[in-house]
A and B are shown apart, each in its own frame.
Chain A
Amino acid sequence: MVGWVLIGLLVFWLVVNVIKEPGEFFNVALIGLTNGAVYGLVALGYTLVYGILQLINFAHGDVFALSGLFASTVIISLFGLDESSGVLVIVGGMLATLVIVMVLFSGVNALIELVAYRRLRHAPRLAPLITAVGMSFIVQNVSLAIYDVNYRDVPNFIPRTDVFSIAGVHYTWNKLAVLMITIPVLALLTWFVTSTRQGKAMRAVAQDPEASAIVGVNVNRTISVTFAIAGALAGSAGIVYLLQFNMRYDTGFELGLIAFTAAVLGGIGNLSGAVLGALVIGFIQAFNEGLSWNAPGSDWTRSIVFGLLILILVFRPEGLLGERTPEGA
């Protein structure tokens, strides 16, 4: 009941904003869509790992930040992409960067699992969770050691000019590039999880590790593969984030929490739920920060996102698309 009133108020607020400033509203919505795509890539990493281990991998956000920083090095120092590069060089360079970063960070993430979590398979649940918090700080400090405290960005080699512009609504190339990377990555992931033997094994282990071991699934390898995929997704997220914003060693902490919220919102363990939740959070954040009529503003973004997280966990722990879990019962 209260929930419906809140949703009603939210819709009313959005409608008033659309009527007052339609151009602004749709511009902000496009920002939300782009950010939502980035959150989605990170949120998938959380949800994949949670689905298979029931572990909140706190280090995931920091792996994302490290991958983004590393991608900036690859783009600047290895390929030297900048505004003057030709289209073919840019496309080729981006593809190569994607491959390098995704492969490297799938390895990094699998290594984290091997070193930090594998030994704790039979420990009480609190143990790996605390270890994950510790790993998060370790990875963050690795970024700090390599890249120091300065913000890093890449040249605007993908122009920030308009793809189209209708009635004051602008859609820029760098925003489009985010979707051009995100959508194929998501398609690849869907294909992998639904259509390959390894994907099938992942779903089996997520449902029941013991039973899958009985029927011959190599549980340890499947868990490693899951972490590797999560790492690759974080790598791609790091690159698309870099196309829009600058980042530094601690960017991953807050973004990781937002992405985790997105995963919970969608129903943790549920892949399409993570993407849906990420888009919702992306829109909420963009509307909160961009709309001019009665928006609380960026000072409150964190409170709103976490307030939402708490509300979901308390009232609908299974999320938008998830199933009821014992944790939330």
Chain B
Amino acid sequence: MKARADRLLALAPKRARMLALPLALIVLAVFYPSYVESLRGITVVGDFVPSLGSMVVMIVFTMMAVGLNIVVGYAGLLDLGYVAFYAAGAYTSAWFASQHFEDVSFHFGAVGVRSDLPGIHLSIWLILILAGLFTLAVGIIIGLPTLRLRGDYLAIVTLGFGEIIPQFVRNADDLGGFDLTHGTFGISPIDAPGFGTTLSDVLGLPASYQQSFDKVKLFYLTALVLLLFTVFCSVRLRDSKLGRAWVAIREDETAAAAMGVPLMRTKTWSYALGAFFGGIAGAFYASFKSGAFPSDFYFNISIFLLCMVILGGMGSVWGVLLGGMILGYLNVEGLATIGTKLNEGGINFDPTKYQFGIYGAIVVLMMLFRPTGLIPERRHKREMEEGVHDQPLYDSTHE
């Protein structure tokens, strides 16, 4: 007991150093709304500072990337259909916090909604949990039959699901006369979150985001909390027994199985938990945008998220955070800003038109020259350098 306490004490300074940078970043992020406007006021440089609204979008996509990292980074399963989980989450919001189901009228904890409005209106907080669980179930349903397949077959099956689900959403406005998704028009408006008047009076939490003057700021802070929650879970999962099993599978499936790791169950968990966070992010984003539209869920989003993971470093949470924020920024504001600047400089080139070409080039360059990403995970780096004993692609000169 004493030895353990001593060891922990000895580690304390190291731990403090390790925590210092994340804590500083969190503090900077929490106060971002208060200094963003002065940053944006700086000449030239200020144009490149993302607005608060853009930050919300960036954080939501980063959150999905952290979720995808559980599947791709930890367990080494290439998922090219992650957008399906995003869609599942978004439509959970759409079903349970809008007037879509006009025939029923059910209110529970919803704020900022007149109680005589038709449709199902649940509290957004409840919906975030529901969306996570629903998406987790979707992940298990997709995962169970397909996770038996290895590597590239799995990639193509997930790609298939990623294509089917958006088309299903587009076409599901008439399933035997039942309108599930309102087709191409999507479902809107979706209720905004809030804590209700009671909590507002007691704890000072905002009663309703929709009716607040600081709407975007509130969404930003909520997104930040959700992202921190995701990162926390992700780190804890990585260091858990389950996380070690994922890495074992990633490195050598056969050896992992021989050591008693249940392959199917472990893989399905990675799939389901990765999906869970995608669902929450999707549900929150739908509430922020106040709508869920099938045009949002196309294949490129899956690739975009994958690109974040690759750029940051597969398996490295901090890397994925960095990669997610960089690419998220480029996607929401950066490329457009660069295009405007180029235009002002007399160069007629619109980078937003070629955004996926740019992301594709980033992926290829990273894979060729720095396959471990911007902030490599230690273990993954070793795998890349020393090779793994999983079946190599085509190894004719080695060994």
- A contact set with B: CB distance below 8 Å: 52-56, 116, 119-131, 133-138, 140-142, 144-145, 205, 209-210, 212-213, 219, 223, 253, 257, 260, 264, 299-300, 302-303, 306-307, 309-310, 313-314, 317, 326-328
- B contact set with A: CB distance below 8 Å: 76, 78, 80, 145-146, 148-153, 155-157, 159-161, 163-164, 167-168, 170-171, 299, 303, 306-307, 310, 353-354, 356-364, 367-368, 371, 383-384, 387-388, 390-398
Are A317 and B153 in touch, CB under 8 angstroms?
yes
Are B357 and A56 in touch, CB under 8 angstroms?
no
**A-B residue pairs in contact (CB < 8 Å), sample of 26:** A52-B394, A55-B393, A121-B396, A124-B390, A127-B393, A131-B364, A134-B359, A134-B362, A134-B363, A135-B364, A137-B357, A137-B361, A137-B363, A138-B361, A140-B360, A145-B357, A209-B395, A219-B397, A303-B167, A303-B168, A307-B160, A307-B164, A310-B145, A310-B146, A313-B149, A328-B149
Residues of chain B within 8 A of A257, CB atoms compared: 159, 163
Are B161 and A310 in touch, CB under 8 angstroms?
yes
Distance, CA A204 to CA B152, complexed state (A): 23
Q: A122-B392, A125-B390, A127-B367 are in contact. Are A145 and B163 (CB under 8 A)?
A: no
Are A209 and B396 in touch, CB under 8 angstroms?
yes
Are A130 and B306 in touch, CB under 8 angstroms?
yes
Of the listed residues B148, B306, B358, B364, the one surrounded by the most CB atoms of chain A closer than 10 A to its CB is: B364
Residues of chain B within 8 A of A131, CB atoms compared: 363-364, 367-368
Distance, CA A134 to CA B358, complexed state (A): 9
Which of A129, A141, A264 is in CB contact (< 8 Å) with B354?
Answer: A141
B139 to chain A, nearest CB (A): 15
Q: A127-B367, A131-B364 are in contact. Are A121 and B160 (CB under 8 A)?
A: no
Distance, CA A179 to CA B296, complexed state (A): 39
Are B393 and A136 in touch, CB under 8 angstroms?
no
Which of B76, B150, B363, B398 is in CB contact (< 8 Å) with A122?
Answer: B398
A261 to chain B, nearest CB (A): 8
Which of A138, A253, A307, A327 is in CB contact (< 8 Å) with B149?
Answer: A327
Chain A interface mostly: helix
Are B163 and A54 in touch, CB under 8 angstroms?
no
Residues of chain A within 8 A of B388, CB atoms compared: 124
Are A138 and B364 in touch, CB under 8 angstroms?
yes
Nearest A residue to B392 via CB reads: A122
Distance, CA A55 to CA B168, complexed state (A): 29
Are A328 and B153 in touch, CB under 8 angstroms?
yes
Are A123 and B393 in touch, CB under 8 angstroms?
yes
Distance, CA A39 to CA B368, complexed state (A): 31
Q: A130-B306, A141-B360, A306-B160 are in contact. Are A124 and B397 (CB under 8 A)?
A: no
Residues of chain B within 8 A of A212, CB atoms compared: 396
Distance, CA A123 to CA B356, complexed state (A): 25
Distance, CA A129 to CA B364, complexed state (A): 10
Are A209 and B394 in touch, CB under 8 angstroms?
yes
Residues of chain B within 8 A of A317, CB atoms compared: 149, 153
Q: A133-B303, A260-B156, A310-B161 are in contact. Are A126 and B364 (CB under 8 A)?
A: no
Q: A138-B364, A299-B170 are in contact. Are A313 and B146 (CB under 8 A)?
A: yes
Nearest B residue to A135 via CB reads: B364
Are A327 and B395 in touch, CB under 8 angstroms?
no
Residues of chain B within 8 A of A52, CB atoms compared: 394
Nearest A residue to B163 via CB reads: A306
* Given A138-B357, A299-B167, A313-B146, 9 extra CB contacts under 8 A: A123-B367, A131-B363, A131-B367, A135-B360, A135-B364, A141-B358, A303-B167, A314-B145, A314-B149
Nearest B residue to A118 via CB reads: B368
| The 5 residue pairs across chains A and B that have the minimum distance between CB atoms | A141-B357, A137-B360, A134-B363, A306-B160, A134-B364
Which of B78, B353, B383 is in CB contact (< 8 Å) with A129?
Answer: B78
Distance, CA A54 to CA B171, complexed state (A): 35
Residues of chain B within 8 A of A137, CB atoms compared: 303, 356-357, 359-361, 363
Are B395 and A121 in touch, CB under 8 angstroms?
yes
Distance, CA A56 to CA B76, complexed state (A): 17
Residues of chain B within 8 A of A313, CB atoms compared: 146, 149, 153, 156-157
Residues of chain A within 8 A of B167, CB atoms compared: 299-300, 302-303
Distance, CA A95 to CA B148, complexed state (A): 47
Are B353 and A144 in touch, CB under 8 angstroms?
yes
B122 to chain A, nearest CB (A): 30
Are B394 and A53 in touch, CB under 8 angstroms?
yes
Are B78 and A126 in touch, CB under 8 angstroms?
yes
Are B367 and A120 in touch, CB under 8 angstroms?
yes
Of the listed residues B367, B390, B398, the one surrounded by the most CB atoms of chain A closer than 10 A to its CB is: B367
Distance, CA A122 to CA B80, complexed state (A): 23
Nearest B residue to A134 via CB reads: B363
Are B392 and A125 in touch, CB under 8 angstroms?
yes
Nearest B residue to A217 via CB reads: B396
Residues of chain A within 8 A of B150, CB atoms compared: 326-327
Residues of chain A within 8 A of B160, CB atoms compared: 306-307, 309-310
Residues of chain A within 8 A of B396, CB atoms compared: 121, 205, 209-210, 212-213, 219
Nearest A residue to B153 via CB reads: A327
Distance, CA A12 to CA B384, complexed state (A): 53
Distance, CA A140 to CA B164, complexed state (A): 22
Residues of chain B within 8 A of A210, CB atoms compared: 395-396
Residues of chain B within 8 A of A253, CB atoms compared: 299
Are A138 and B360 in touch, CB under 8 angstroms?
yes
Nearest A residue to B368 via CB reads: A119
Distance, CA A210 to CA B354, complexed state (A): 41
Residues of chain A within 8 A of B152, CB atoms compared: 54-56, 125, 129, 327
Distance, CA A95 to CA B256, complexed state (A): 56
A73 to chain B, nearest CB (A): 20
Distance, CA A125 to CA B150, complexed state (A): 10
A53 to chain B, nearest CB (A): 5
